[in-house]
Amino acid sequence: MALAARNSSTADIDGVPPVPAARFFRPASAVALRTDAEQIGAAIAAWLDEEWAPLPEHAELGRAVAVAWERRRATGDALEDDDVASVLLGVANDLLAGFDFGPTFTSAFDVANKAVELAMRRDGMEACDCSGGGGGGAGDV
């Protein structure tokens, strides 16, 4: 019986309740989502320019992030659209599938982590500075 309880996704493990999933706030409208995505994309481009050097590829990557962000936040599945982990993995996968990172000195996961970090801070969530950036400066959303 104890083994069955341990395998349940909702069961406490050693008396510690599961940590609830982190969730973003729902955008008020499709226009608000597009604006949010564009702001995150612009912040990513500025962060990369500041972190490395201004490159036209950073602006292209920022636009790709905006497209991926909007796509992943508007799937029609509210649980997935707002779940931080789902958005992170979805944005990273979209970027891996459609962007050449060669000239950018970064990776899909670095960029997706930074985008999620910016959105978490904007939504008032605690975020670890996982992307290596200082969490401030040009990357603020």
Q: What is the pLDDT of residue 127?
A: 65
Mean pLDDT, range 70-84, rounded to an integer: 86
Mean pLDDT, range 110-124, rounded to an integer: 93
Cα gap 18→104, rounded to integer Å: 38
What tokens appear for 73 in the block?
């936040």
Q: What is the pLDDT of residue 128?
A: 65
Cα gap 42→28, rounded to integer Å: 20
Residue, of 30 and 131, whose pLDDT is higher: 30
**pTM of the model as a whole:** 0.78
Mean pLDDT, range 106-112, rounded to an integer: 96
Query: Is the pLDDT confidence value at 6 over 50?
Result: no
